[in-house]
Amino acid sequence: MFKLLSNEKRIRILCLLENHTLNVSEISEQLGLPQPSVSHQLALLREYQLVQYHRDGKQIFYTLDDPHIIEVVNDMLAHVQHILKHRDHWNHQI
């Protein structure tokens, strides 16, 4: 799972879907990424049950499968900030 969340594109897709239901074209446009790349990342996120989709005619719309994942992503990013600022978890200088 950690490797899955180590990709910036997937993190950006998850954050975008936090408050939106979007199709691949909309995700691609909002993130400035090619549609094939977005489709590939969404397939991986579906495989790990982080996003779900529903079809409306020819359109496929994506949402978060588990909104809890945003908390996990935010915690992970906060941890990275601790490391980048050379701080331990109690905000003391290392």
Percent of the chain residues topping a pLDDT of 90: 61
* Rounded Cα–Cα distance for residues 59 and 41 (Å): 17
93 contact partners, CB below 8 Å, separation of at least 6: 86, 87
Are 79 and 8 a contacting pair, CB within 8 Å? no
Q: Each residue of 66-75: pLDDT tens digit?
A: 888 888 877 8
Total Cβ atoms within 10 A of residue 49: 10
Would you say residue 2 has pLDDT above 70? Answer: no
Q: Each residue of 26-46: pLDDT tens digit?
A: 999 999 999 999 999 999 999
Give bridge partners of residue 52 from the DSSP assignment: 63
